[in-house]
Structure 1
Amino acid sequence: MKGLMKKWNELSLVKQIIVGLIIGIILAETIPNQAKPIVIVGSLFVGALKGVAPILVFFLVMSAIAQHKTGHKTNMKSIIILYLLGTFLAGLLAVIASFMFPVKLILATGAENVTAPGGVTEVLKALIMNVVDNPVKALYNANYIGILSWAILLGFALRSAPDSTKTMISNFSDAVSQIVKWVINFAPIGIMGLVFDSIATNGIKSLLSYGHLLVVLIGCMIFVAVVINPLIVFACIRKNPYPLVFKCLKESGITAFFTRSSAANIPVNMSLCEKLGLDKDTYSVSIPLGATINMAGASVTIAVLTLAAVNTLGIQVDIATAIILSVLSAICACGASGVAGGSLLLIPLACSLFGIPNDIAMKVVGVGFIVGVLQDSCETALNSSTDVLFTASAEFAEWRKNGKEIVINK
């Protein structure tokens, strides 16, 4: 047993996760009833990540700003530009793909009792109001825009505090970071439980009737991940982008795929940024911000499902309206985290651009819930891994300008 544990500990975390994934699939396909209790392990893992993430962001950001040295440059402006550019290009790709491979839907029910936002103004208002949310409420509800705003304000207010106070806050930050490392070590077991639950509960058969839709949705997300994002990264760092792209997909995308939560993946992304040697002052802000506004996957989902509804109803779309949809899907995607239900509930808003009635649009949302087993997993994997990718790209671009060597460990 000791020899087995030694070999297990010698494996990298990613290899351990792959082993857990394989075991979960085997158990789901062979003894689903007997192995059902392992579902609780997956729930505990996601719950632990979601529980620690808000506190981690709060103390990490507050500590970084309180101890920030005057003249020390961060790359937040470049990162935000990359976030917005990536989200828009993803929406534009989804529109082009929907014209090239038009999808028609078998409209589903099941989303009639869900309330969708009434317009872009409502989405943006909810996003802005989250900035001034009560700090305790923001922490309780994992409202990262609110957490960030309070952490930044307190950080600036504490810059003139005694060194002993700053040290105490830094110690709290280090302690929470250590807890995060402990939680991440349980990722292989947690993912085993998550993949077992997903396969045993939903199976693959229920998705076959929506195969064409899934191919377009997932195909767009894969294209963004392996073509569009690498091009953006290459423009920043002027060297082969794929080692960085694949490292982010491997170490961030895999866990995000199974947790299906950008918020739960924030601790994983913070840990990866630390491995890459990035500036803590920057990534402590950019990662939680990315979990809120960097939503390329959501932009793809909104655009593809909206145009699928358009094709189903036989509505003609001109180029100008298609471009407007690209912009609208990007704006909606940035506000998706402020709306209960995420990207799917913003589909009726996009459908209104084409005069599609709300009752039809909600049936399209119903289709989204059906394919969400795969769609939401791929969407979260793309969104979350890109947070690290663009944060690293912006900093590596500065390294290149300063003549510092960019080394990406495998």
Structure 2
Amino acid sequence: MQINRRSFLMGSAGVATGLALGAGVPAFAADTQLRAMWWGSNDRAKRTLDVARLYQGKTPDVSIIGESLSGDGYWTKLATQMAGRSIADVFQLEPGTISDYSKRGACLPLDEFVPSTLKVDAFGKDMLKLTTVDEKLYGVGLGLNSFALFFDQTAFETAGIPLPTPDLTWDEYAKLAVELTKAVGKTNYAGGPYGARYTYVFDAWLRQRGKSLYKDAALGFDVEDAKEWYSFWEDLRKKGGTVAADVQTLDQNTIDTNCLALGKSAMGMAYSNQLVGYQLLSKNKLAITMLPREKKGGSSGHYYRPALIWSVGATTKNGEAAAQFISFFVNDPEAGKILGVERGVPLSPAVREAILPNLNPTEQDTVKYVNLLKDQVGDYPAPAPLGSTEFDQRVLRPIADELAFERTTPAEAAARLVEEGKATIRS
């Protein structure tokens, strides 16, 4: 491909294999150069690249250097950029991290660009609240999603076990998981994940019980809540309903490290927009439904959330250009057709209408799922407090891993979770 000022340039670190354009060939300088950084699968990287190409075709005075990373490498890279005051012009966050990183000074407030440059009026005021922290807009949602239970429909049907339904309880889920493990009968294969290390699932579990992960910039649960949570997963692990600890600890909250995507389990817990990426990795038919709930007819614990978020780096010298690119990303119908619902169901009604005829069955399933939740979702929680990212990565996950390896007990793990959580979370 000929390199010119409209070409999409790729950064050198963490680039998805095979997606760099014009490798080794210098590009001509453009009037404005933006750096964009995100994490995710090769499929996400390809879609993002294609939208960037489309944008540059319409905005030839802008060039974009894109960098796609996966796993914890993204957060390490972002921390390095923050320390060096060289944050990417456009970078990806999600609901659990936007409050944390905006309060740490990583994000540029976008209010000055609305609505002149950043066209978000059609989203509705409530949608902007999802990315507003301390009354300032620090990002733009790229789509709606919620938590979800994914399952291998082929495995269920082959085993002759009824498929999970939206009103599934946690007790019923546990029985299904054990049955699947026995019915499939494969080595290193289980009915589901060891979900004790999933912060977002724990949050739904708590909301079903009238509590929450965070409340008033502090933990919203106590030791007894955590003990019940850990005991559920330990009991299920011992009955054979979860993958082994060495499999679960591979999970870096990315699609390609999840036990379902790895073919190690029949069920997985993730975000609804990720079904597209999971299906690309699975030869079997995958399906989606709601997370289990405490009791029939009880609260689901679900809420709508921005699947992912584009924020603008606080150190950028091209804030308006970055905002203009984000506006194109979320509003242009052609861009919407490229992106589909991989980053969530579009917030723009016009884009949703434009993409519907072109969605494949898996993408249609994610839209149907978001619609299914319409009468089941609760209020969107307050922004996560400062330290929430550290709590997830350095407290909750490691303690759950120690429990899965039988290096601690549910009671000890619960006490540590609250003690270390209180030391980590700050207002």
The TM-score, its normalising length taken from structure 1, stands at 0.27
Higher strand share: 2
Higher helix share: 1
Choose between structure 1 and 2 for higher RCO, CA contacts under 8 A separated by at least 6 residues. Answer: 1
